[in-house]
């Protein structure tokens, strides 16, 4: 079932395992995005075509801008009693810990890990990790093709959402010709690109845009090191009437500053911890930076959570960046 690459299942191995199981739980990561949800929903919809029983787990509520996804209303934290031998399938997560603490107990022998992150810990019995793919949903598409299920408009919409989420609506460098061909194919199969654009990229809440302005007003730029950073704290959220979902697009606005090599958003929303989002223009591997602090991600997009105050979070990132060759005297912006 494994090929030469250690811990990597073959596509045939994945397909026969999926066919052999009758009950599934599709697991998406905490603070879910369009890739982790779209990938799990797409495979789940395909398996439902085969008469399988499929449940969808996420520890959080589906974010407002992803509720349009076909099947999103079936995602929940409490799944009730599951049949013995239920297969747990994990999407878009480099480690099982990304599923969060509420994941129901599962049998490690019946697990599938579908991902595209660098440094995936290959935590499942079957690991199908294609690092060159732009989204976990693109990996699912290969599995669905091998399963020979019908590419319904609903499945196509889920897959197109994963591609658009992880390429920034086809703007990032992972937008290969193959991605554009797959996207075109999803549109031909009935995916509504306009709806995805509208739901995910265009219907910003007033509070979110207000928060964006507040965060950009505190933005700092170390032009010599090429580091742009800012903070969002609970006070800023409250004063804008915003919530944590409204922070999604801020780090991208830092990254597009001319001369930015690394963009960092520090979020101090829960007491005693700082959640950090990192973006790179391609020179610096921010996955390595995040990994130094227990996080992970991709070369150009990564994240981590560090304990302590905002100041401690900034210091931790400054040190991790220095270790990766980017020396910047970062401070908490006033
Ligand atoms: P974001 O900044 O949008 O939260 O995350 C960017 C990327 O890094 C995503 O691909 C996400 O899956 C990954 N990532 C974010 N936070 C963590 C983390 O704490 N651990 C790991 N392993 N990956 C993370
Ligand atoms: Mn992804």
φ/ψ of residue 54, rounded to 5: -130, 130
Ligand 1 atom closest to Cα of residue 248: 3
Alpha-carbon distance of 287 to 120, in angstroms, equals 11
In the reported structure, the alpha carbon of residue 210 is separated from the centroid of ligand 1 by a whole-number distance in angstroms of 24
The per-residue pLDDT for 6 is 64
pLDDT in tens, 77-88: 999 999 999 999
Residues 316 and 194 in one domain: no
As a whole number, mean pLDDT of residues 143-159 equals 98
**% of the chain exceeding 70 in pLDDT:** 98
Residues 77 and 170 in one domain: yes
Query: Residue 1 pLDDT more than 50?
Result: no
Query: Residue 3 pLDDT more than 60?
Result: no
Residues 234 and 186 in one domain: no
Ligand 1 atom closest to Cα of residue 94: 22
Residues 133 and 214 in one domain: no
Domain, as residue range, for 271: 206-323
**Residue 289, H or E segment:** helix 286-291
Tell me whether residue 317 is in a domain: yes
Query: Residue 2 pLDDT more than 90?
Result: no
pLDDT in tens, 293-316: 999 999 999 999 999 999 999 999
Query: Residue 69 pLDDT more than 80?
Result: yes
In the reported structure, the alpha carbon of residue 36 is separated from the centroid of ligand 2 by a whole-number distance in angstroms of 6
φ/ψ of residue 220, rounded to 5: -125, 155
Nearest ligand to the C-alpha of residue 136? 2
Query: Residue 242 pLDDT more than 80?
Result: yes
Alpha-carbon distance of 308 to 103, in angstroms, equals 26
In the reported structure, the alpha carbon of residue 289 is separated from the centroid of ligand 2 by a whole-number distance in angstroms of 18
pLDDT in tens, 217-234: 999 999 999 999 999 999
Q: For residue 54, what are the contacts with CB-CB under 8 A and spacing of at least 6? A: 23, 24, 25, 26, 44, 47, 48
Residues 58 and 139 in one domain: yes
User: Residue with the nearest Cα to atom 3 of ligand 1?
Assistant: 277
Nearest ligand to the C-alpha of residue 276? 1
Query: Residue 290 pLDDT more than 80?
Result: yes
Residues 101 and 231 in one domain: no
Tell me whether residue 334 is in a domain: no
Residue from 223, 256, 254, 255 nearest 329 by CA: 223
In the reported structure, the alpha carbon of residue 287 is separated from the centroid of ligand 1 by a whole-number distance in angstroms of 9
Ligand 1 contact via 302 beta carbon (within 6 Å) = yes
Residue 292: CA count within 13 A, CB half-sphere: 15
Q: Give the residue, out of 114, 302, 304, with the most ligand 1 atoms within 8 A of its beta carbon, to mutate for a pocket test.
A: 302
Ligand 1 contact via 295 beta carbon (within 6 Å) = yes
Ligand 1 contact via 63 beta carbon (within 6 Å) = no
User: Residue with the nearest Cα to atom 13 of ligand 1?
Assistant: 297
As a whole number, mean pLDDT of residues 100-119 equals 96
Q: CATH no. for residue 257? A: 3.10.310.30
Residues 189 and 99 in one domain: yes
Residues 273 and 305 in one domain: yes
Band (pLDDT 50/70/90 cuts) for residue 120 is: very high
pLDDT in tens, 187-197: 999 999 999 99
In the reported structure, the alpha carbon of residue 5 is separated from the centroid of ligand 1 by a whole-number distance in angstroms of 24
Query: Into how many domains does the chain fold?
Result: 2
Tell me whether residue 178 is in a domain: yes
């Amino acid at each position: 079932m494994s090929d030469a690459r250690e811990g990597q299942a073959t596509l045939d191995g994945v397909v026969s395992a999926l066919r052999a199981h009758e009950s599934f739980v599709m697991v998406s990561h905490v603070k879910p995005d369009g890739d982790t949800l779209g990938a799990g929903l797409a495979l789940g919809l395909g398996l439902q075509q085969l008469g399988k029983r499929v449940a969808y787990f996420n520890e959080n509520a589906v974010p407002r801008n992803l509720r349009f996804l076909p099947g999103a209303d079936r995602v929940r934290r409490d799944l009730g009693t599951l049949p013995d031998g239920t297969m747990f399938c994990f999407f878009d997560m480099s480690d099982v810990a990304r599923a969060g603490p509420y994941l129901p107990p599962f049998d490690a022998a019946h697990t599938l890990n579908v991902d595209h992150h660098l440094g995936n810990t290959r935590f499942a019995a079957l690991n199908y990790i294609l690092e060159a793919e732009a989204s976990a949903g693109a990996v699912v598409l290969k599995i669905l093709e091998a399963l020979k299920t019908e590419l319904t408009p609903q499945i196509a919409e889920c897959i197109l959402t994963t591609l658009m989420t992880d390429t920034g609506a086809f703007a990032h460098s992972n937008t290969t010709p193959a991605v554009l061909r797959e996207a075109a194919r999803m549109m031909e199969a009935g995916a509504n690109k306009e709806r995805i654009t509208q739901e995910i990229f265009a219907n910003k809440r007033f509070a979110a845009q207000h928060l964006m302005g507040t965060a950009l007003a505190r933005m700092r730029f170390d032009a010599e090191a090429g580091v742009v950073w800012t903070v969002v704290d609970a006070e800023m959220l409250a004063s804008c009437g915003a919530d944590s979902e409204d922070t999604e697009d801020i780090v991208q606005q830092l990254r597009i500053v001319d001369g930015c090599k690394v963009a960092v958003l520090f979020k101090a929303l829960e007491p005693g911890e700082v959640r950090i989002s990192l973006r790179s223009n391609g020179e610096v591997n921010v996955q390595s930076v995040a990994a130094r602090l227990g996080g992970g991600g991709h070369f150009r997009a990564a994240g981590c959570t560090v304990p302590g105050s905002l100041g401690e979070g900034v210091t931790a990132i400054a040190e991790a960046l220095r270790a990766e060759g980017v020396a910047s005297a970062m401070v908490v912006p006033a």
